[in-house]
Structures are given as C-alpha cells and as structure tokens.
Amino acid sequence: MSGVIELRLARAVDAPGIAHMSRELIEAGLGWRYHPPRIARLIADRDTLTLVAEDRAGLAGFAILQFGDEHAHLVLLAVQPRCRRQGVARRLLAWLLESAGAAGIAELGLELRAGNAGARAFYRALGFSDAGLLPDYYGPREAALRMVRVLRRSDGAPPAWHAPTLRRS
C-alpha cells in the first residue's frame, strides 16, 4: 500500500484504468465486456454513480452503481490486491449505499461469479443475502450468485440490520 487512500467521483480519464482492473480482477477468463469505451459511457451516464479510490500509486479500487426507480444494481466493484483488507471496498460501498438511500432505492442487487468466495464473504459481511443461483449466467458452466441488500421495506421503514458477530457455541 502507498499511504492514504481517498475516494472521489470517477472522471472520464479514469475509464482505461477501471476497465483494465475489471478485465484482470473481475472478468478474467470471461472475455472483456467492460472495455474503456463502455466504462466511459457508464461514468458519463446520469443514472450511474462511479467511484474510484486512489493512493499515491494510482487507482486502488472502484465501484459502479446503476440506479433504477426503486432498484439499484452494483455493476462492478474491485480493489487492487495491494490494497485489500483495509476497508476500501467497505468505504466505496458505504458511499453507494448512502447515495442509494438518499435516492429512495428499496433494494440494491448484484451478481458475482458463484465460485468467488472472497467477494461473497465481503457482501455477506456488508449485510447482503443470497437471492438465487443463475446457471450459465456468464457462459457455459459459469453460474452467478445473485445477492441483495434491502434498504427500505415496502412500508417505507429501513430494515433492521446488525453487524455480524462471532457465534458463541
């Protein structure tokens, strides 16, 4: 790691770095769908919030959230290996969750590769629940796990959620 890691809104100039992180850290073996022009379009899109985290060495992480009327979709999230387990993804997600809450979003959803145990553990730690397995979602024999975090019940009240604690036996 290279010092303090700061978060900010992404700019067009960030598109190539984000796209390359996506290819290496998220899309490895799947083909490159989130290439620089597509990322640039997401950064420019008014219904999409793209955040980056950076340190002195450059891009440390990023997250992309697309807003619908009541549902928001976490498109991509990744942190450089050198910056992991320092709370960077937690901070990125906290910003997105706060924005989604302010926008009146009821539920935030995402898909991840079913075998991605690290990301699944991360999302579970952040209050997401498994919402279904999607066979062949990324191609033959590459399933996705859908996860959701409810932000607001249909009666308008935020759901109770508590940080997970170690289970005592």
Can residue 66 be called a binding residue for ligand COA (CB under 6 A)?
Answer: no
What residue is closest to ligand COA based on CB? Answer: 118
Can residue 86 be called a binding residue for ligand COA (CB under 6 A)?
Answer: yes
Position among 16, 116, 131, 142 found at the interface with ligand COA (CB under 6 A): 116
Paired tokens of 169: 């036996």
CA–CA separation, 130 vs 147, rounded Å?
Answer: 5
Query: Which residues make Cβ contacts (< 8 Å) with residue 93, sequence separation at least 6?
Result: 63, 77, 126
Edge-to-edge strand order for the sheet containing 144-150?
6-9, 48-55, 58-67, 71-79, 107-113, 144-150, 129-134
Known catalytic residue at 111:
yes
Can residue 52 be called a binding residue for ligand COA (CB under 6 A)?
Answer: no
Can residue 125 be called a binding residue for ligand COA (CB under 6 A)?
Answer: yes
HEC letters along 12-65: HHHHHHHHHHHHHHHCCCCCCCCCHHHHHHHHHCCCEEEEEEEECCEEEEEEEE
Can residue 73 be called a binding residue for ligand COA (CB under 6 A)?
Answer: no
Q: Rounded to the nearest whole angstrom, what is the least distance from the CB of residue 154 to ligand COA in the complex? A: 28
Position among 1, 7, 25, 134 found at the interface with ligand COA (CB under 6 A): 25
Q: Rounded to the nearest whole angstrom, what is the least distance from the CB of residue 57 to ligand COA in the complex? A: 15
Can residue 77 be called a binding residue for ligand COA (CB under 6 A)?
Answer: yes
Q: Which of 27, 34, 111, 138 is catalytic?
A: 111
Known catalytic residue at 123:
yes
Whether residue 119 contacts residue 61, with contact meaning beta carbons closer than 8 Å, is answered with: no
Question: Which window, 5-13, 65-73, 75-83, 136-144, contacts ligand COA (CB under 6 A)?
Answer: 75-83
Residue found by looking up tokens 């697309």 in the block = 66
